[in-house]
Structure 1
Amino acid sequence: MRTLVHTPKSRVQVVDVEPGQYWHVGFIHCIIQQLSHECNIPDVLRLHISTDGASADKKGIVQYWPLQIRIVNLKNSKPLIVGVYRGKKKPQDPNSFFRMLVEEMKVVINSGGIRFKDKLIPVTFECFIADAPARAFVLQHKGHMSSKPCSKCNVTGTVIEGTRHNVFLGVNHVKRTDENYNFRTDTDHHKDMKSPLEDLNIRMVTRVPFEYMHSICLGIMKKCIEAWVLGKFGCKNGKLRAADIEAIDVCLKELDNTCPGNFTRRPRALSEFQQYKATEFRHLLLYAGSVVLYGILDDNYYLHFMLLHVAMRLLTMPTRSDNDLKLAEDCLKLFVDKAVNLYGSLFMSYNTHCLLHIVDDVRELGPLDDYSAFPYENNMLFFQKYVRNQHRPLQQFALRLMERNVQHVSTKRSDSNGIIVSGISTRQCRHSGLPESSIQYKRIEYDNFRFSIDDKNCYCRLKDGRLCKIVGIVKTSQSYCFIVRTYVVVENFYDNIVPSTLIGTFKCSQFSAESTMIDITDVCGKCYKMPLWKQTNSLNNITEKSTDELIIMTLLHHGT
């Protein structure tokens, strides 16, 4: 069995890192192993580093802290675990935790890069990604519950009377600089110990972002729903009635019929929000929220939510202008400024304050998904899955990880262009320009796109701006083509903050009479089709779908 699963025979070496143990996989080893399976290797390797705590059991008695890296300019690259700490508490000293990784990285920096196949490839360490507690631990500053937790500016929290909570008011604060941060002169913010990131010359203000999976999806979006559903933070005017919640639940349930395969978690009822994962909050934030809340949530609260929705779509778009960033910044400042009157002072937590710095991070590092924690979270389940018992658990994990890293041959077949098709279609589409010898398929994968002829994965946007439904996937002698029907009437869904078409949201109706055949390279985006609901009874919030209008929304992410 050990031979079949490629279990290594070498002994797993662990070292003590108080108050637990640490196993170092090897930073250089992981990079070389990944490069050996790549065809197109970039001239420079751009690396992101991340860490976070994970529990191996529901009680959280034992913690695992993996160190992960990702080559961000390598196509479809996934995070690599380069070291793992295990203990009953988190590591006491971040410098001891990072020591072996920092030593390896210094070797790479001093030698000018990593040598691979007789070529020296330079390496740059671009940023460090973590949630608020892990970020404070590694940067060695006061935590998010303190009065001065922000590593981006000099804001000071105010304690709410009768509580121990700090709130952070205002939208204009003096920003910190990379040059001054390393001196640790702000004793109310910094701790005495230096950060291990100093040894890697990672700029600790501009290159340690507030990533949006934790701060916005699990932070702000969850808090908004807590206020709408539970009336939390003293939010009375915005609290939804039972009939309101039921109406929204009906809409979300129906979205399961049109939600694309890019979402691994299907839409769930809003009444179940306390069990939501980060991807489900993202689904509401970037996509469904603007549609299912329309006409149900109080107008003031809906417009306030739309400020966040518009800003986050602008910041997640792969291409954006300086004007887009300025618009997103204005929306977020207005969101923070208005939040205290709508939701109360307790809503103004550290996560709410972080919204003021998100745009600066995007200016420095690119779209939000380029440095989010979503890819790294996928590795966190590995600890619960593969550690079977408490006898030498870190060694167990090490062996399972090394087995997983053995590359197996893919069962999918692709042509020389990396295009994968599957399922011969029995529903043959007819078109005047279609040769009789052509083959029609049910599904196709290419680049980062996955399309099929079912109603969940067949909507797309073309480079010329047209919105289409794919009714046929065809292979001709020259290339792969789509047979599409185009929407004739395309207009804004809303224009109260910006025209919705600016952020890839369209209200559509009426298909073209004739189908068109296009090359697959004409597609620039995949889309999410949603019904447009109308409230037919404002007292009981009975929803009714529009029969001739629907919402088409451009997807802003490809994976889970």
Structure 2
Amino acid sequence: MKKSFIRKVKRLTHQTLLISRNNVTEEHNITDLSVYDQNAEKTLDSYSNETIEALPTSERSSIASEWISIPSNVLENASLPGPSQSDSLSFQEEIKLWAVKNQITHKAVEELLTILRKQPGLDGIPKSARSFLSTVREVKTRVVSPGTYCHLGIEKVLSDFFRMHKLIPPENLEIAVNIDGLPLSKSSGSQVYPILGVILNLNITVQNVVLIGLYHGFQKPHDANEFLLDFVNDVINVSKNSLKIGDRLVTFKLKFFLFDAPAKSYLLKVKSHSGYSSCTKCCQEGIYLEDRVCFPDIDSMKRTNETFRNQSDENYHLGFTILQNIDYIDLVEDVPLDYMHLVLLGVTKKLLVGTWIFGKPPHNLPASLIKNMNLLIKQIAVYVPSEFPRKSRSLLESKRWKATEFRLFLLYTGVVILKPFLTREKYDHFKCLFVSITILVSFSLTNLYDYAEKLLIYFVQQTQNIYGRHYMSHNFHNLIHLTDCARRFGALDKFSNFSSENFLQILKRLVRKGDKPLEQIMKRLSEGFLVSKSSKSENWYLQHEKNISPLLPYPQFLKLVLPTFTLNAGYKRDNCCGLKDGTVSLVFGFSNKKNLTVALVKKFQSKCNFFETPCNSSILDVHFVKNLCKKFVIVNIEEISQKYVRLPHEDGFVVFPMLHTVGYLSK
């Protein structure tokens, strides 16, 4: 009875953990390739990379035999999901993992423990949920007026991180630090200010954000220096004395800060972004136009770490920041501009929402055009890949769009949607923003940074000419400084706030009631730290076994899951890829046999530039494709170089390289 009960509970636990990955809610739209003779006895054990036409079974004997070898690290049970986090856990640890991942309340856990303790051999399980989950009993805090603060410590949280993910820390550990406010309630002023560390130099895709310290109060801390005191002293200490993580000593460096504009003003004790002399990168004073401070000049003297620490510009500084005690930090260059707030929620939102959709004449669009744009957005939405957590919503909801929705619009759908509706001048102006930000986001176009900088300067100048000088607010002005940040730190996603903002939402979900939220968060985190979690698998695997075509050997699958993207022949949003020979293809299925994995594809015969100004779109790997070949090709999966975002346009499709990995697409 005991064994039967344990097997039943384990099965239910596994089903709970895997249900979101195995649940398919949409109907497959794959063309049925199994219309050929299904009674054929012949098994195709080998194929060539030459073009194979979908011939009747009787005519397939002429297919050539030539495989391309690939590494033999193929999962044996390829139809199963990737390795479960609970594979190596004991029965009690599985229950802990289930309780933590699903945020089961202590009351519900204790009810389950009561049931388990009645079973023979399980009477040794603790009665209390706190004992069972190893919840900390006391949270040490100190008063930071007008609230309380808890400092976990850099060495402790990093040690927990590498132990939890079973990773070996690099010899030189680098982190970025994000600090931002998070309201906990709409009905009160309850809020937290977490100090988050983003681990930078990891060679594996995991959630790389850790909580270093946390403040809670009904107002933000009155004195930012008092709030940062423990953190700054901790950084200075571990930077000088190294970190001990497990049995390894590693050097530590705080590489840069991730602040939005209000946080910069508060923590650096400088002018707010709405004031005169408020640019963090140059000394331009600004002028007052139409109820706002604007920065119309392109060339101004740049700020330096020396002028910041000496407070040379009295109109910029409001006081001394304790962050200056970290002597190796450049408080100008090492506080980069965040493109999530600056470009997406700033410039893109201003153009789309504040100008074209809900703006004033003469730049707003007529209601009839907006209606037609919404119809086009609806048609395009079904082609948005599954890696994007938010699909395109109606423009009437654009005031409520999140940053990822503006990113989707700017980097993918916008140049297709806007083409029929904007004037040529405004459309070419938007393309300048699209091209320059695409270059800065891409990891492979760093050689074009100088061009992106010139294009952004041109975009800013044209903004004044088209929409007026009053558009030159803090966000538009700072576009001219954005390329300098990319030169120093790399592609924009390497220093964006996306991962930090995602983690803030995780923290918010840990609060179950209004009383003592700081203690609640710390206790929930202590429970999670004590549950063994494996890191995300870096292997690829196949899923969704299905009979697709006699052209492929068995077993056959619809889905290929790679570390950075997923291809799914069952959905038109996920079936477009690029091959190493430069062709754009649609996948129709996958097969794995004898440690060799292939894909069945059709290639587009026509590929050309989607636009030619301000540059050829092919430079960005953006193409207009049409005329899908009628012949199938079987290729080794090593020939797949990337996934494309495929959007319908006229009699073909516009394809964009997917610029973000799965780890960057949350929120």
Kindly provide the CA deviation profile for residues 438-484 of structure 1, in whole angstroms up to 9, marking residues without a partner as x: 42222222221222112111111223322111111221222333222
1:5/1:558 CA distance change after superposition, 3 Å: farther
Match of 1:318 among 443, 454, 465: 443
Deviates more, 1:12-21 or 1:396-405: 396-405
Structure 1 SS opposite 2:567: strand
Question: Is 1:227–1:238's contact at 8 Å kept on the other side of the alignment?
Answer: no
Structure 1 SS opposite 2:326: helix
Kindly provide the CA deviation profile for residues 492-547 of structure 1, in whole angstroms up to 9, marking residues without a partner as x: 00001110111121100112333223333333321111010xxxxxxxxxxxxx3x
Shift in Å, 1:170: 1.8
AA partner of residue 528 (structure 1): V
> 2:224 aligns to what?
94
Kindly provide the CA deviation profile for residues 89-129 of structure 1, in whole angstroms up to 9, marking residues without a partner as x: 22222222222222222221121x22223321222211100
1:108/1:463 CA distance change after superposition, 3 Å: farther
Matches within 5 A, 1:284-299: 284-299=409-424
Kindly provide the CA deviation profile for residues 188-221 of structure 1, in whole angstroms up to 9, marking residues without a partner as x: 0112212425425221111111111111111111
Structure 2 SS opposite 1:331: helix
- For residues 363 and 528 of structure 2, the distance between their equivalents in structure 1, rounded to whole angstroms, comes to 49
1:197/1:8 CA distance change after superposition, 3 Å: farther
- For residues 230 and 513 of structure 1, the distance between their equivalents in structure 2, rounded to whole angstroms, comes to 42
1:128 aligns with 2:252: no
Deviates more, 1:98-107 or 1:258-267: 98-107
- For residues 177 and 550 of structure 1, the distance between their equivalents in structure 2, rounded to whole angstroms, comes to 47
1:206/1:299 CA distance change after superposition, 3 Å: same
Match of 1:177 among 284, 294, 304: 304
1:59/1:354 CA distance change after superposition, 3 Å: farther
1:60/1:374 CA distance change after superposition, 3 Å: farther
Question: Is 1:142–1:191's contact at 8 Å kept on the other side of the alignment?
Answer: yes
- For residues 132 and 196 of structure 2, the distance between their equivalents in structure 1, rounded to whole angstroms, comes to 24
> 2:542 aligns to what?
421
Question: Is 2:555–2:593's contact at 8 Å kept on the other side of the alignment?
Answer: yes
Match of 2:328 among 201, 210, 214: 201
Question: Is 2:148–2:216's contact at 8 Å kept on the other side of the alignment?
Answer: yes
AA partner of residue 223 (structure 1): K
Kindly provide the CA deviation profile for residues 229-253 of structure 1, in whole angstroms up to 9, marking residues without a partner as x: 4553x5x333111111111111111
> 1:513 aligns to what?
630
Question: Is 1:57–1:384's contact at 8 Å kept on the other side of the alignment?
Answer: no
Structure 1 SS opposite 2:515: coil
> 1:306 aligns to what?
431
> 1:226 aligns to what?
353
Match of 1:63 among 161, 186, 191: 191
> 1:444 aligns to what?
560
After superposition, the CA RMSD in angstroms is 2.1
Matches within 5 A, 1:162-173: 163=291, 165-173=292-300
Shift in Å, 1:368: 0.3
Structure 2 SS opposite 1:101: helix
> 2:71 aligns to what?
none
Shift in Å, 1:389: 2.7
Shift in Å, 1:146: 1.0
- For residues 281 and 535 of structure 2, the distance between their equivalents in structure 1, rounded to whole angstroms, comes to 47
Shift in Å, 1:228: 3.6
Question: Is 1:7–1:399's contact at 8 Å kept on the other side of the alignment?
Answer: no
Match of 2:394 among 266, 269, 273: 269
Structure 2 SS opposite 1:188: coil
Deviates more, 1:311-320 or 1:88-97: 88-97
AA partner of residue 199 (structure 2): I
Match of 1:330 among 446, 450, 454: 454
- Select the structure of larger CA radius of gyration: 2
Question: Is 2:155–2:244's contact at 8 Å kept on the other side of the alignment?
Answer: no
1:20 aligns with 2:20: no
- For residues 260 and 197 of structure 1, the distance between their equivalents in structure 2, rounded to whole angstroms, comes to 44
Question: Is 2:559–2:568's contact at 8 Å kept on the other side of the alignment?
Answer: yes
> 1:536 aligns to what?
none
- For residues 201 and 68 of structure 1, the distance between their equivalents in structure 2, rounded to whole angstroms, comes to 20
> 1:49 aligns to what?
177
1:516/1:39 CA distance change after superposition, 3 Å: farther
Deviates more, 1:493-502 or 1:337-346: 337-346
- For residues 44 and 367 of structure 1, the distance between their equivalents in structure 2, rounded to whole angstroms, comes to 21
Structure 2 SS opposite 1:378: helix
- For residues 212 and 147 of structure 1, the distance between their equivalents in structure 2, rounded to whole angstroms, comes to 22
5+ residue gaps, structure 2, are 1-108, 110-128
- For residues 129 and 9 of structure 1, the distance between their equivalents in structure 2, rounded to whole angstroms, comes to 30
Deviates more, 1:172-181 or 1:1-10: 1-10
Question: Is 2:159–2:246's contact at 8 Å kept on the other side of the alignment?
Answer: no
AA partner of residue 362 (structure 1): A
- For residues 168 and 240 of structure 2, the distance between their equivalents in structure 1, rounded to whole angstroms, comes to 25
Shift in Å, 1:4: 8.3
- For residues 409 and 135 of structure 2, the distance between their equivalents in structure 1, rounded to whole angstroms, comes to 44
Question: Is 2:282–2:300's contact at 8 Å kept on the other side of the alignment?
Answer: yes
AA partner of residue 489 (structure 1): S
1:410/1:203 CA distance change after superposition, 3 Å: closer
Structure 2 SS opposite 1:133: helix
| Greater relative CO, 1 or 2 (CA 8 Å, sep 6+) | 2
Kindly provide the CA deviation profile for residues 416-443 of structure 1, in whole angstroms up to 9, marking residues without a partner as x: x6223322123x2343xx5x4x422222
- For residues 474 and 351 of structure 2, the distance between their equivalents in structure 1, rounded to whole angstroms, comes to 15
> 1:72 aligns to what?
200
Deviates more, 1:248-257 or 1:116-125: 116-125
- For residues 373 and 179 of structure 1, the distance between their equivalents in structure 2, rounded to whole angstroms, comes to 27
Deviates more, 1:34-43 or 1:287-296: 34-43
AA partner of residue 506 (structure 2): F
AA partner of residue 174 (structure 2): R
Count of aligned positions: 532
Match of 1:215 among 342, 345, 354: 342
Match of 1:404 among 528, 545, 564: 528
1:350 aligns with 2:474: yes
Q: Percent identity among equivalent residues?
A: 27
- For residues 578 and 166 of structure 2, the distance between their equivalents in structure 1, rounded to whole angstroms, comes to 30
**TM-score scaled by length of structure 2:** 0.76
- For residues 5 and 299 of structure 1, the distance between their equivalents in structure 2, rounded to whole angstroms, comes to 65
> 1:103 aligns to what?
233
> 2:661 aligns to what?
558
> 2:379 aligns to what?
254
Shift in Å, 1:386: 2.7
